[in-house]
């Protein structure tokens, strides 16, 4: 079990306990959209598409690798509820919906 910082609270993450669901409001080209990370089911849902998740070490703080049908991107979290990812060459910035 390891401690990670997501938003302004600490969360415990392990393979079987303390799984969480995180809701974000993301902006791509100024347009807001909802993004949901379900850590229990290892799914990221954004714009009507569900991606399988696995933890990745490629993020500065903590994050997941989202994958579906050959499309993949790193969803990386930081402090104060901020997260971002690059998809199709565009940066998408997200804030945890508290």
Q: What is the pLDDT of residue 18?
A: 59
Question: pLDDT by residue (tens digit) across 44-77?
Answer: 999 999 999 999 989 988 899 999 999 999 999 9
For residue 14, pLDDT beyond 50: no
Q: Model-level pTM?
A: 0.76
Q: What is the pLDDT of residue 60?
A: 86
Distance in angstroms between the alpha carbons of the first and the last residue of the chain: 25
Q: Which residue has the higher pLDDT, 18 or 79?
A: 79
Q: Which residue has the higher pLDDT, 19 or 77?
A: 77
Q: What is the pLDDT of residue 1?
A: 34
SS (H, E, C) the chain: CEEEEEECEEEEECCCCCCCEEEEEEEECCEEEEEEEECCCCEEEECCEEEEEEECCCCCCEEEEEEECCEEEEEEECECCEEEEEECCEEEEEEECC
């Amino acid at each position: 079990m390891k401690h990670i910082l997501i938003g302004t609270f600490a969360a415990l993450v392990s393979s079987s306990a303390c799984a969480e669901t995180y809701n974000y409001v993301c902006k791509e080209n100024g347009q807001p959209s909802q993004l949901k990370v379900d850590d229990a089911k290892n799914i990221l849902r954004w714009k009507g598409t569900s991606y399988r998740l696995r933890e990745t070490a490629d993020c500065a703080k903590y994050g997941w690798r989202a994958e579906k049908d050959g499309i993949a991107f790193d969803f990386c979290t930081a402090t104060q509820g901020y997260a971002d990812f690059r998809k199709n060459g565009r940066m998408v910035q997200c804030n945890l919906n508290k």
